[in-house]
A and B are shown apart, each in its own frame.
Chain A
Amino acid sequence: MPPALPAGRDLRLDFFRGVALWLIYLDHVPANVTSWLSTRSYGFSDATEIFLFISGYSAAFVYGREMRDRGVVVAGARILKRAWQIYVAHIFLFMVYMAEIAYVAATFDNPLYSEEMGIFNFLKQPDVTLVQAMLLKFKPANMDILPVYIVVLIGFAPTLWVLLRTPTLALAGSVALYALTWRFDWSLPAYPTGTWELNPFAWQLMFVFGAWCALGGAERIAPIARSRPVVALAALYLALAFTIALSWHAPRLASYVPRWFSEWMYPINREDLDVLRFAHFLALAVVTLRFIPRDWAGLASPLARPVILCGQNSLEVFCFGIFLSFAGHFAMVEISDRIWMQVCVAVGGIAAMAGLATMITWYKESERTKPGPHPLLRSADGAGGDA
């Protein structure tokens, strides 16, 4: 049962999106040794960049074709439908989160944590909390990516329209919005204080850049990205970022980082997608593409299959991963939080994600092969993975 693909789909995308989903899961299980595997430990960027870039790439791939074949209105409607699906998924995850919190609040008591238990205060005002959550203003821990995805998709139809005509203009617009966001501190307000954990006005750059790459941009920059000096520069940058990341874990190393340099470098802003993070993602991409060609044999190996399947069903697997991270945390608190348990939670969670992805792909397959409605009715969402 090979993954279902239209001709021309780059399996590397599914592969790396799958990897990103696994890493996001590992990042989200608190107090977990295996989160050391995450790119976050080796440099500036984390799986969020990979996830949003590939989501942009896939969205342009799927809806770009749709817009060309069936017009702006139909494609625009489909994009909004997708945004709605993600919104519903987000609210579902919020329910899971609330259930966990309500349970912990009711059962946990410890004089050591009288301050930390203050986090449960918002349960006393469900009227406010629930409404704020529906407005995407309430910020539950680890649920920062989907709201960005929703906002970006809402604005994606016009962006895609421009991308299909003058891609450079669309990309320039995205960069301009990013720059203006930094210049004027644009952001979306959150509840009870502060702003969104990931600023969609800044992070849209990742998504639009992915979309731009999907619509011909990748071929255009390929000669530059593959050139020896650029690859060398990227490798150098990754090495530098790795050194800096090491210094976070071994403060004595930090004294070797020149003061002017750290003053220039810090803070590395996650909320607004720091340029250093963006550059780190680019460098990672350049080095990866250099060593993993499109027809890389590893992609066809049975070991890569679960990763690719996860990448092809990214929304379901992402949501399931968030759910599993809550469940895994719960298991660690209730049963044991020793290292063996952490490894069990990590491995078990990833196996469950792969299992779900396999099941969904099987289901889509069986829907596809059964005699049924006109093929057009199941074009974008069913075929070749989701956007």
Chain B
Amino acid sequence: MRALRALIAALTAATLAGPALAADEGACYVAKGLVQADFALPRVAAAVDAKQLKIVVLGSGSSTLPGADGPAKAYPARLQESLERRFPGVAVRVVTQAKPRQTAADMVKALRQTLGEEKPDLVIWQTGTVDAMLGVDPDEFQTALGEGLDVLRDSKADALFVNMQYSPRTDSITALTAYLDAMRFVALQRGIPLFDRLGVMKEWSELGVFDLAAATKKIDIAERVHDCIGRLLASMVAEGKTLAQTSDTGAGTMDSQKKESH
């Protein structure tokens, strides 16, 4: 019995210490199965090779946290930190362009200017919440997504979608399905990786990793959720980069828009 326990402890320690990153991700990794880069991020791969990676997070209120510490604790900052650890020697910079109450169409309007100023390699586009709350026509939402991606393609930036938060208390009040479907369809159609924030947070809630239904004014859970989202996003970005490299060696110089082949 004692021997068995020792063996288990040793195995656990080995697993945790084994891949350097595993310990780093901790409890967040419960939902790792839901996070997969299904499409390559060729611009990110090129930028990492060039030792300079610039990312813009385009989003609405749920890409930020309130308070003086907010910007440092919100997921874009956590993403930057996690990527710096993953890519030593690469200058990673994550800029947040998040304003509350912005629909997808609102964001597209300002997008060209943002891209001109920031010239990012990757745009992480978090959207859907505000559109669903306002009841914007799902078709119009989908059109806005497509237009945004057109702008990104013109400026040669990779794109990655982040969908809504899972919010158990307001779940039955805001109908998200049509907007989730729209994001998923556009992501598939255009070969854009989609970070299923809703699915990940739902998994955390169901498995009891975080109590997302808690009514609280305290910020600690929110900060830990954002930290985890930042880490998982980083692993997705890294995966998208790896996919781009493996497909480059095989397929030569195919159109960068091409879907990843398996």
Contacts and interface: CB of A to CB of B under 8 A. Distances in A.
Contact of A259 (B138, B225, B259): B259
A122 B205 CA distance: 28
Given A112-B165, A267-B185, A333-B213, A101 B225 contact: no
Nearest to A338: B206
B194 A270 contact: no
A112 B172 CA distance: 18
Q: Identify the interface centre among A115, A251, A262: most chain B CB within 10 Å of its CB.
A: A115
Contact of A269 (B66, B139, B172, B260): B139
* Interface size, A (range): 35 or more
Interface string A95-109: 001001100100111
Contacts of A255: 38, 259-262
Given A141-B175, A248-B184, A251-B194, A117 B136 contact: no
Interface in B196-218: 202, 205-206, 208, 212-218
Taking chain B's interface residues, is the majority helix, strand, or loop, or is none over half, making it mixed?
A: loop
Contacts of B181: 248
Contacts of B202: 31
A333 B184 contact: no
Interface residues of B, number: 60
Interface stretch (B43-51, B80-88, B127-135): B127-135
B168 interface: yes
Given A109-B215, A110-B222, A338-B206, A266 B185 contact: yes
Interface in B152-203: 165-175, 178, 181-182, 184-185, 187-189, 194, 202
Contacts of B214: 110
Given A195-B137, A267-B142, A337-B206, A31 B168 contact: yes
B188 A251 contact: yes
Given A251-B36, A270-B178, A111 B219 contact: yes
B36 A252 contact: yes
B131 to A, nearest CB: 9
Given A141-B174, A141-B175, A142-B175, A116 B62 contact: yes
Contacts of B137: 193-195, 271
Interface in A141-200: 141-142, 190, 192-195, 197
Given A109-B216, A255-B261, A333 B130 contact: no
Interface string A226-249: 000000000000000000000110
Nearest to A144: B175
A192 B132 CA distance: 12
B140 interface: yes
Given A30-B168, A192-B135, A337-B168, 16 more contacts: A29-B172, A97-B173, A110-B212, A110-B217, A111-B65, A111-B222, A116-B174, A193-B137, A194-B135, A197-B178, A248-B188, A257-B188, A262-B188, A268-B185, A270-B138, A332-B168
Interface of B: 36, 38, 60-62, 65-67, 100-101, 129-130, 133-140, 142, 165-175, 178, 181-182, 184-185, 187-189, 194, 202, 205-206, 208, 212-219, 221-222, 225, 259-262
12 contacts: A30-B172, A111-B219, A112-B165, A115-B62, A116-B170, A118-B61, A251-B184, A254-B188, A255-B38, A255-B262, A269-B139, A326-B172
